[in-house]
Amino acid sequence: MTALLFYKVCITMLAVLGLSFVAEKISVRLAGLLSGYPIGTAIILHFYGLEYGAQFAADAAIFNLCGLLGSQSFAYTYYRVSQQTASLVGTSVLAMIGYLVPTFVVSLTNPTRLTALVIAISATSLFCILFRNNKVKQVVAPQAWSARLIAGRLIFTASLVLAVTEFADIVGPSWAGLFSAFPVALYPLVFLLHREYGPVTAQNILGNFSYGLWSVIAYALTVSVVYPRYGVIGGTLLGFAVSTAVLAVIGIKPLLTSLKGLE
């Protein structure tokens, strides 16, 4: 168990630190897209599979698709509330409510894979439309990274991942799947960048989050099918292959724009 916990922390650290680097040094738009990549989802579903079995994780992946409604509601609520108040705590609390309400509604259903896919596609299409007028601005004067800064980001993010995964055996695969859709990489990223650079930077990350979630839909759908057939390791690799192909198609334009800006 100790080795497994250490593995979780290491993966989470790399994910959030990597996104932070992209946001601060390269492009907030690209960081927003990448925050929609199935980093948190893959971590959580992978460890569900290792700890509770491939079928448990496959079932949870179906609810993960439904949970994308809650994660995007979280992002949109944070986006709008941060435009009205400077309070980080107030923004986080209201965003959490924005996550829990639709998640609770979805938890009352018993979706099939097809139903879950329809919910995920509909929700993502809706929030892409709602975020369509978001204007991208680069982080201004990014601060130098210190040991204290890195440690703070690690502790905050790792705590979220551990809290979600450790409760999976209590709540069962449906709620576990819904929790797996919690924006575990996005939230610490926007919270910390909001605190360090102000709400506009956080809003720019959030404004591109939904576009990246098409890769999560591809990942969760793939995992729900292949985990029972090919196991956790093989299923995870196949899930990443499919989701990466989807994200590459969606993100190629902002990536090229970002690289051009570095020349």
Residue at token pair 């990274």: 145
CA distance 73 to 28: 20
CB 35 within 8 A of CB 189: yes
Quick one: average pLDDT of 93-107?
A: 88
Domain coverage including residue 19: 2-262
The segment with the largest mean pLDDT, out of 6-10, 64-68, 76-80, 148-152, is 76-80
In whole angstroms, how far apart are CA 218 and each of 95, 192, 215, 241?
25, 28, 5, 10
Overall size of the chain counted in residues:
263
3-state secondary structure of 8: helix
Range 54-58 contact pairs with CB under 8 angstroms and sequence separation of 24 or more: 54/227, 54/228, 54/231, 54/232, 54/235, 55/227, 55/228, 56/173, 56/176, 57/223, 57/227, 57/232, 58/223, 58/224, 58/225, 58/227, 58/228, 58/235
Report which of 80, 58, 41 is spatially closest to residue 183, judged by C-alpha positions. Answer: 41
Average pLDDT, the chain: 81
Pick the more confident residue, 181 or 55: 55
Instruction: Say how many C-beta atoms besides its own lie within 10 A of residue 65's C-beta.
Output: 30
Pick the more confident residue, 47 or 92: 92
Residue 182 predicted with pLDDT over 70: yes
What is the pLDDT, as a whole number, of residue 15?
79
What is the pLDDT, as a whole number, of residue 231?
92
What is the pLDDT, as a whole number, of residue 118?
94
CA distance 181 to 69: 9
Q: Which two tokens stand for residue 90?
A: 């107030």
Pick the more confident residue, 135 or 202: 202
In whole angstroms, how far apart are CA 243 and each of 61, 80, 101, 138?
14, 28, 28, 26
Quick one: average pLDDT of 160-181?
A: 65
Number of structural domains (the chain) is: 1
Amino acid in the structure at residue 40: G
Overall pTM surpassing 0.85 (yes/no): no
